[in-house]
Structure 1
Amino acid sequence: MPREVELKLELASGTLDDLLAHSVLKKAKPLADQSGILRATYFDTPELALRQRQLSLRIREKDGHLIQTLKASGEESGPALDRKEWECPVKEGLDLDMLSDTPLADLLADAALRESLLPLFMIETRRRVFSLERDGALIELSLDQAAAIAGQQHLPFTEVELELKRGDTSALFSIALDLQDGMPLRLSTLTKSERGYRLLGADTATSVKAKEIAIQPHMSSEKAFQLAARACLFQVIQNEEILRRTRAPEALHQMRVGTRRLKAAVALFEPLVDDRESKAVRKRLRWIGRKLGHVRDMDVYVHTLRETGPDLDREALNEAERERAKAYEALLKTLEKRRFMRSVLWLAAWIEAGQWHFRRKQRVQEARAIPATDRASTELQRRWKRIRKGARRLPDLDAERRHKLRIRIKELRYGLEFFAATFPAKQAERRRQSMLSNLQDQQDELGEMNDIIMAEKLFPAHGAEKSQATRMKRLETRAEASARKLVKAKPFWNV
């Protein structure tokens, strides 16, 4: 089955001439026969039945020739788009008979749906195509000046597509990192079809939550970590794009969740990724986390003030909202900086082709090969033991130790989510869900307690209101009750 593996980089600022003058393109071989003006018309039903199935159907025109293409998203979400595609030449309109052996076949069996397919938008592209070789890989680089068009709406954009024609995916990232030197290029997961759908108002999401990760029982630790890390970074990239476009607090929250999930994945698989390059990458990940953390703290503080009811301090709320607005402005500027764009691309390159994949030390090779079940059992048990100990001593813990306990709980929760498919037995799944529920309750209560303390640190001049002190007392009682339930939870990884 034909597959399309490509990496997309969006030009954040600057001009097309700047890109054409880049040393990478100067050394590339132009492919004049594949360059030119492309006009692609995308089809779907009025209810967007294809988009709901993560399918895109188009007819592209170039030099008087028409090519019909169906694309289907891959099973794994990641920064490198991995899609199945079916292409065939057509004479004029859609040739639906050519799609009988594709994921669209069951939809096309519905005569009414077949009849309802119609053109919804166009993508017009001025494309310049180049050929590159890197480390034995053959890569096609397309420099696209494009615009999505729907009726009177018009959305221009410039992007670089790196498509793997032969060889290893690592070559895509190697070239992408070279291109990013001196150029404000942002790693993007947006397809051209998705840009068109947005013109139709089809994307109203204010955030993207974590996708399920299917780590199979006998999957190697290397493959399991890559699968988890790839999904976490995908969550970060998608929410970053929404945050820049909408400033939605939920997008910021989910972006931060993505960074924390990635940190948790690194901790769970640490024996694989303890080399120098990995430590440098983790340092960048912590930097991103700090930039997001301050703004998220401001969001939480504003929310906390608004929830105080009759005791609401209007002066404190107004000051907090002003400070939050400043924090958002600073964060949005950070997202436009090359350091941030570089950090995200470097994380993606590390996940896909970092040195940790190739280290020859015997202990590292063995760590990469350990089955997911063994890795999960060892790491989850170690973390569970520390959490139970902390939960038993909860009434005696000060604020700092409570916060550390909450972080451990969060890390274990992410681990339980990563390894959901690793222990498929029904009893194991019941225990996993029960433990997740208990951990979530404890985390929520400790989190609310930490929010109150953080609010006092952010704006100490306002002090803690009486209602907040009462709320803290109530949370302490609930947290201690949750801790007693938590210590009784049964592990699912030894069923």
Structure 2
Amino acid sequence: MQEIELKFLVPESRLKGLMRQAKVKSSQVTQLAAHYYDTPDQQLAQAGIGLRIRKEGETWVQTIKAGGDGLAARLEHNAVLDNEQVQDMLDNNELMPDLTIYKDTSIATALADFKLKKLAKQLTRLYVTDVQRTTRSLIEDDNDDPNNCLEVAYDYGEIIHGTDDSQREAIQEIEFELVSGDLDFLFLTAKTWCKRYKLCLSTVTKAERGGLLINGRDHSPAVSANLSQLQVSKDSSMPAFVRAAVHNCLLQILPNSSAIVAGSTEVEHVLQLHTGIKRLLAALKAFADFSDEINPDWLPILQQTAVLLDDYRQLAHVVSHVEPLLQTYGAPTVDWATDIDAIKVTPIDAVRANDFQLTLLELIAFAMSDPSIEPKADHLAHDKLEKILSKEYEKCFESDNEPDESSDAELDSDDITDDDNQAEYRLSNHLTDLLYISEFSASLLRKKKTKKKTTRWLKRLKKAQIALEQHSADSRYQQCYELKSATDAHALYGAGWFTATLEHDYDPTAKHLAKFRDSSIFW
């Protein structure tokens, strides 16, 4: 069967109020003791599969979870086990899952890449969880649709290392699982609780957290864009296409935002979340007419979050990458601690903001909703994409965007004006938007005979975009060090270094832009 649930982390400040809603007369409290299994090298985890045996009250249940849409839906199979057999295995320290039960089930496809007999011999218990679960049912008070029902489950406990019980991690989260009825009821309820208790979405499963514990990591690695997961076809309708694009962006956004709300300060999580939001903004703006369900209120919230993340990301990149680089060239150390501390809104503040969390919920609901019931469901996306791409392409070559290429000599830094920087910034944004839109659209527009042409054009666009983005970033770093030099003379080295870098890299950047401009479009 398919499990559809939303998981949230609970802020300590809101816990008492939330528990008053979770612990009502009809609620149930169950102690859950779960044993999680994988191979020593975690082959199941790498395939996105979680396998456990859990005691639920007085019943032992073997559960496997796999696949799904990466947002809120996963395949799940539960099998009730014989209590006496389980107890015998526990007494002899031989409790192991039975993989033969999956042979003719819906979960079999998820295990198709494994030889089950060989896998069974490799399985070992990696970690356990000890959780107290408080559950209650919520049924929509609607005579028109009395079947809308979901389960609210608050989990409190810990994950324990399978071979070293001194290694533990606390669990404090709440889940909303759709039992029956419409997705709308799930999302409306989750939004109400999210708004009231300032909940934060998390895509990190207990299995994933257990894997992190045994590997000695606090958070999973940052997730970058993966266009191989973009589910579009030549006959995709306009509503289906824009949902697929949003879905693909969320697959990048949600894991990184989940890590940040859980406390990650890694620059790569911030970078990939920022990139995911920029991709999402490009898609929502370019394909705004593809669906009547797109909410224009999403844009300002996403834009504000992207700006806040970028302010922190740039300074954090200076500390983590630029400073060590400069010091390899003999630069004196510049202390940026006070500058970091002066940032009023940190990534965790930006991502935990209720408006952003509610927007994420609405975007997930949109991506999972049925595109076939929309008025434009019979309009093919393919028919509109050429016009959209052409319009975005033309923005890249407006006269006020282009840097001055009239001289073959190195550009003097004194010639770089604020107007030049603004034009460069606009061009960088246009190229970035064009790249994202083109990547979403390429599989629908390219033909077999023009596949190489499309690949070559995208490659040249990406090179131009990366070169100009780096040039713009170096310009900002130069300004950053120049401003810092007013209070720390050591920063003068960095200001001078980036001034020289900008002069040296101007011509190569202009050549990448010219090469892209001279390439014929693929649509």
Q: TM-score, normalised by structure 1?
A: 0.85
Residue 312 (structure 1) shift: 5.6
Distance apart, 1:246 and its partner CA: 3.6
The residue aligned with 1:270 is 288
2:416 aligns to what? none
Structure 1 range deviating more: 442-451 or 103-112? 103-112
Report deviation, 1:256. Answer: 0.7
Q: 1:86 aligns with which of 77, 80, 101?
A: 77
For the pair 1:438 / 2:438, whether they are aligned, the reply is no
Q: Contact 1:170/1:349 (CA < 8 Å) preserved in 2?
A: no
| Deviates most, 302-311 or 281-290 | 302-311
Deviates more, 1:196-205 or 1:7-16: 196-205
Query: Is 2:375 the counterpart of 1:365?
Result: yes
Choose the corresponding residue for 1:140, options 128, 147, 151. 151
> Which 10-residue stretch deviates more, 454-463 or 136-145?
454-463
Shift of 1:430: 2.3
Name the residue aligned to 1:352: 365
- In 2, the alpha carbon distance for the partners of 1:185 and 1:488 equals 50
- CA distance in structure 2 between the partners assigned to 1:47 and 1:9 by the alignment: 29
Distance 1:202 1:459, change over 3 A: closer
Tell me the equivalent position of 2:100: 97
Counterparts of 1:455 and 1:9, CA distance in 2: 37
CA distance in 1, matches of 2:325, 2:271: 19
SS in 2 for 1:38: strand
Measured against aligned partners, the alpha-carbon deviations of 1:332-369 in whole angstroms (never above 9, x if no partner) come to 551475xx144223332245249x989x9xxx833x65
Task: Structure 2: state its 5+ residue gaps.
Answer: 87-95, 406-418, 486-491
2:22 corresponds to 1:19:
no
Secondary structure of 1:131 counterpart:
strand
2:198 maps to 1:184 = yes
Query: Offset at 1:225?
Result: 1.6
My pick for the range that moved more, 82-91 or 257-266, is: 82-91
Question: Secondary structure of 1:178's partner?
Answer: helix
Task: For 1:20-35, list aligned pairs within 5 A.
Answer: 20-22=19-21, 25=22, 30=26, 32=28, 35=29
- The Cα shift of 1:84 comes to 0.9
Is the contact between residue 392 and residue 484 of structure 1 (CA under 8 Å) also seen in structure 2?
no
Deviations along 1:162-193, whole A, 9 cap, x unmatched? 11122222221211111123313111111121
Partner of 1:343: 356
In the other structure, the counterpart of 1:116 is: 122
SS of equivalent to 2:182: coil
SS of residue matched to 1:419: helix
Paired-residue identity, %: 22
**Larger RCO (CA within 8 A; separation ≥ 6):** 1
How much has 1:45 moved relative to structure 2? 1.0
Question: Would the aligned equivalents of 1:232 and 1:262 in 2 still touch at CA under 8 Å?
Answer: yes
User: In structure 2, what is the equivalent of residue 454 of structure 1?
Assistant: 476
Change in Cα spacing, 1:191 to 1:490, as seen in structure 2 (3 Å) is same
Gap change, CA 1:431 and 1:322, over 3 Å in 2:
farther
Whole-angstrom CA distance in 1 between matches of 2:124 and 2:221: 28
Q: Is the 1:124–1:147 contact (alpha carbons within 8 Å) kept by the matching residues of 2?
A: yes
Partner secondary structure for residue 50 of structure 2:
strand
Indicate the residue corresponding to 1:73 in structure 2.
67
Number of residue equivalences: 472
SS in 2 for 1:165: strand
What is the correspondence of 1:210-359 to structure 2 with a 5 Å cutoff? 210-212=225-227, 213-243=230-260, 244-272=262-290, 278-302=295-319, 303-304=321-322, 306-308=324-326, 313-314=331-332, 317-318=334-335, 320-324=336-340, 326-327=342-343, 330-332=345-347, 334-335=349-350, 337=352, 340-353=353-366
RMSD after superposition: 3.1
SS in structure 1 of the partner of residue 171 of structure 2 = strand
Q: CA deviation at 1:405?
A: 0.9
Distance 1:279 1:176 in 2: 21
Residues 285-327 of structure 1: per-residue CA shift (max 9 Å, x gap): 1121121011122134444455446876536x32x35413543
The 2-side partners of 1:451 and 1:321 are apart by 21
Partner amino acid, structure 1, of 2:473:
D
Tell me, yes or no, if the aligned pair for 1:55 and 1:70 is still in contact at 8 Å: yes
Q: Find the counterpart in structure 2 of residue 207 from structure 1.
A: 222
Shift of 1:410: 0.6
Query: Is residue 36 of structure 1 aligned with residue 30 of structure 2?
Result: yes
Please give the secondary structure, in 2, of the residue aligned with 1:40. strand
2:444 to 400, 422, 432: 422
**Letter matched to residue 510 of structure 2:** E
Structure 1 residue runs without a partner (length 5+): none
| Aligned twin of 1:173 | 187
Whole-Å Cα distance in 2 between the matches of residues 435 and 390 of structure 1? 22
CA spacing shift, 1:117–1:322, aligned 2, 3 Å: same
Match of 2:136 in 1: 130
